Amino acid sequence: MVLRLVFLGPPGAGKGTIAQRLCEAHGLLQISTGDLLREEAGKGTELGDRVKAIMESGKYVEDSTVAELVENKLKELGEKGFILDGFPRTIAQAETLEGILDKLGLKLNGAFDIEASDETIVERLSGRRSCGKCGKIYHLKNIQPKEEGKCDGCGSDLVQRNDDKPEVVKTRLETYKEKTAPLVKYYKEKGLLKVVDANGEVDENMQNVEAILKGVE
């Protein structure tokens, strides 16, 4: 069966880390709207500068911009499975996604809600570092690279994201609760919701996810 999943869950719960590992293990394409937008933000274009300012404020980029980025990726996919990591984030985006998938003749198999307590989230975001080049995620304590400050994969410097600074994290959590939390109910009503307890160590969380995947058809 080809896996086509969406990942919900508050910032810092570990969506990106779990998505990266699951994609490696199952040969899926990870479509992270955060990564796509950061790429856009680095281009120095008018659109890029606008996206950068929104992201650094902790608010959401407008639905149409994000939907276009996702649609372009999904069109390239063919028969490959995917994890949409961080999309949809609003009800409007979820409806747009349905339209895009319908057009492509594809169906989702599950919406995974990656959950962690507020305390865990703050600890994870403050210690998160990621590769400035390939985006691989690390943590000062929990996921250390082999060589301090360098990416295991490509050797580039690890950086802290501007939006992981404490003053922005607060806004991101509020934005999530207001705009994205309603999607949990939306996918529950569609019979697609699976809740993942991601409070534990990365390996433990991966076992939880793999156990849930066995029940996905």
**Catalytic annotation, residues:** 15, 89, 128, 161, 172
Say if CB 133 and CB 151 are below 8 A apart: yes
Examine residue 94 and tell whether it contacts ligand ADP (CB under 6 A). Answer: no
Distance CA 46, CA 197 (A): 40
> Toward ligand ADP, which CB reaches closer, 53 or 211?
53
**How far apart (Å, rounded) are the C-alpha atoms in residues 113 and 27?**
21
Name which position in 4, 19, 21, 60 contacts ligand ADP (CB under 6 A): 60
Cα separation, 217 vs 199, whole angstroms = 26
Q: Are 142 and 202 in contact (CB under 8 A)?
A: yes
- Name the residue nearer to ligand ADP (CB basis): 147 or 182: 182
H/E element, 203? helix 202-214
Q: Can you tell me which of 30, 172, 198, 206 binds ligand ADP, judged by CB under 6 A?
A: 172
Applying CB under 6 A, among 3, 4, 73, 93 the residue interacting with ligand ADP is 93
Peptide bond into 88 cis (omega under 30): yes
Residues in contact with ligand ADP, counted by CB under 6 A, come to a total of 19
Return the range that interacts with ligand ADP (CB under 6 A); candidates 10-18, 22-30, 105-113, 133-141. Answer: 10-18
By CB under 6 A, tell whether 135 contacts ligand ADP.
no
Indicate which single residue of 86, 97, 115, 116 sits in contact with ligand ADP (rule: CB under 6 A). 86
CA dihedral 138, 32, 157, 141 (to 10 degrees): -10
Select from 73, 89, 124, 139 the one that contacts ligand ADP (CB under 6 A). 89
| Cα 66 to Cα 89: distance, rounded to the nearest angstrom | 10
> Residue numbers of the site for ligand ADP (CB under 6 A)?
11-12, 15, 33-34, 37, 54-55, 58-61, 66, 86-87, 89, 93, 163, 172
